[in-house]
Amino acid sequence: MAKPDLNCRAHIESFVDHFYERLLADPQLAPFFLDVAQIDLAVHLPHIKDYWCKLLLGEPGYQRHTMEIHRRLHRKRPLRPEDFQRWLEIFTSTVDDYFEGERAQRAKHLATTIAANMQKSLPPA
């Protein structure tokens, strides 16, 4: 049976839910979200869903500045190259496990670019 593509809000929301389930279970990355950033999932997940809908569907909902958010986090606890690598591994495996198609491939490409750009933009740990 073919997997769906990330071609509508419902699929992107499902992806984000699966992705964050994995992130928050990961011993390397969960502390960034739970202890350092102390995210409130009820607030955070809608922003992330809007972010990916903007990137993949062109929806206008997301208006936040992601680099500044991550700079503040980095000042509290440095994000290291291996953290970006792990984030990308979880992102890619989540896409591959649940989705396929042109936008799924685009999401993985965008995630690779985002991780690389963010890593370059933050001061060395």
Q: How does pLDDT run across 76-122, given as a tens digit for each residue?
A: 888 999 999 999 999 999 999 999 999 999 999 999 999 999 899 88
Domain 9-121: CATH architecture, name and number where available: Orthogonal Bundle (1.10)
The DSSP output letter for 40 is -
Helix (H) or strand (E) holding 75: helix 66-76
Q: Which residues are annotated as a binding site for heme?
A: 47, 70
The share of the chain scoring above pLDDT 90, in percent, equals: 68
Q: Which residue in the block uniquely carries the two structure tokens 């992601």?
A: 66
Is residue 25 scored above 80 in pLDDT? yes
Q: Which residues are annotated as a binding site?
A: 47, 70
Domain boundaries of the chain, sorted by first residue: 9-121
pTM of the predicted model as reported, rounded to 2 decimal places: 0.93
Q: How does pLDDT run across 26-73, given as a tens digit for each residue?
A: 999 999 999 888 889 999 999 999 999 999 999 987 777 777 777 888
Dihedral (CA of 43, 28, 16, 105) sign: positive
Is residue 7 scored above 90 in pLDDT? yes
